Structure 1
Amino acid sequence: MTKFQKSVTFITSIIATIGFSIWLYNERTYEPAIGLIISLGGIISSLTVNKKYKNRRIKGEIKFDYSNNNGIYIIGENELTFETKWSKASDQSIHLYNDPNVISGIAIANSVYDIENIKDASQYDFSSRSRTVEKHGIAVLKNKYGNYAVIKILEIKDNSRGALKDELHFKYLINPDGKTDFS
């Protein structure tokens, strides 16, 4: 669910909850009670994120099916949140986007193959909406809070090229100090 869809679900569920509560208060029957329960379910579902597509830790290794959840996987939390968005390219590369509101820029660390070799994440070119990251390549992300994360692509599976499913395997590191050096 996109942020807009979650907002619409939340707002309409609040309105429905109020309406069903008034109806239940005036007519103590099962119809408004059922409506109230369903509208509360809408509120709860709009406030939760599918944990299958989120890891709050500042470093980790992830495998997920990028053809689900609109290609979105969230790493970190609060001011260290990075909502990554991916789409299919091949089994040797994958597209990364800066579309989520929390992302202010994405870049490729060309000719760098280890996260520890990123000395200054701010030096990369963050000027494009999308980047194609090669297998074993490194992407650098900047969020709207000015923090940086680095992602290394470990493996890409593509169901149109013989794999059983689409799957992205990457490791990442978020700099918790708001600095640009990952060495």
Structure 2
Amino acid sequence: MQTKVVGFCSVSALVGFGAWFYNEPSFEPAIGFIVSIGALAANYWPKKPEKHASNRLKGRNTFDYSNNNGRFVIGSNELLFETAWSKASDESIHVYNDPASIKGVALVKGVSAINLISNAKSYDFSSRSRTPQEGDIVVFENSYGNFAAVKIIDIKDNTRNDSIDELTFEYVINPDGHTNFR
């Protein structure tokens, strides 16, 4: 719906500025005409997916945490989680609740799989940062009260025998504030 409204407004502006330029050739209607063409192009031009984002409710991603300030976005809208990471070692990594979309971050202890988490609210969200190791699970609560669980699969550290900084993780996002990942 939004695309149709923006398209209609852009076409209307294009016609209006074109008529104005036809009747009164000057700089202002020419600029308006060009901007209207730009709005149409931006509205209908195919969009590339962001390199540091994923909109799926579950998935697996690998990214270079030394780029983009260590940020990687999963989900969108009310299910958006802008995760933030930094180097710790080749077996552990720091994760933060700093982004505005994140209300809290907790380390899940003694649980080996995301689908074994029965109550995401039961974990300790009291610290700004956590340091999970490979195989650990981190739970995020976003500013809308939704939860995401992230399992750390692999960590690479270019200062410890790896050629790159890279984090591989699996995630599941629970919609509608559900805390049970089973």
Shift of 1:25: 3.1
Q: Deviations over 1:76-131 (max 9, x none)?
A: 01100000000000010000000000100000001111001100000000011111
1:25 aligns to 2:14 (yes or no): no
Aligned to 1:124: 123
Shift in alpha-carbon separation, 1:115–1:162, aligned structure 2, 3 A: same
Aligned to 1:66: 65
The residue correspondences of 1:54-133 to structure 2 (distance < 5 A) are: 54-133=53-132
Aligned to 1:178: 177
The runs of at least 4 aligned residues of structure 1 exceeding 2 Å deviation read: none
Structure 1 unaligned spans of 5+:
1-23, 41-47
Shift of 1:173: 0.1
Provide the aligned C-alpha RMSD in A.
2.6
Which amino acid is the alignment partner of residue 56 of structure 1? N
Shift of 1:162: 1.1
Which amino acid is the alignment partner of residue 60 of structure 2? E
Instruction: Provide the rounded CA distance (Å) in 2 between the counterparts of 1:114 and 1:91.
Output: 21
Secondary structure of the 1:101 match is: coil
Aligned to 2:19: none
Instruction: Provide the rounded CA distance (Å) in 2 between the counterparts of 1:111 and 1:134.
Output: 13
The residue correspondences of 1:137-176 to structure 2 (distance < 5 A) are: 137-176=136-175
Instruction: Provide the rounded CA distance (Å) in 2 between the counterparts of 1:144 and 1:129.
Output: 15
Secondary structure of the 1:133 match is: coil
TM-score w.r.t. length of structure 1? 0.74
TM-score w.r.t. length of structure 2? 0.75
Q: Deviations over 1:3-55 (max 9, x none)?
A: xxxxxxxxxxxxxxxxxxxxx539x8xxx9xxx9xxx9xxxxxxx99711000
Structure 2 unaligned spans of 5+:
1-26, 40-46
Q: How many residues align?
A: 150
Instruction: Provide the rounded CA distance (Å) in 1 between the counterparts of 2:90 and 2:56.
Output: 27
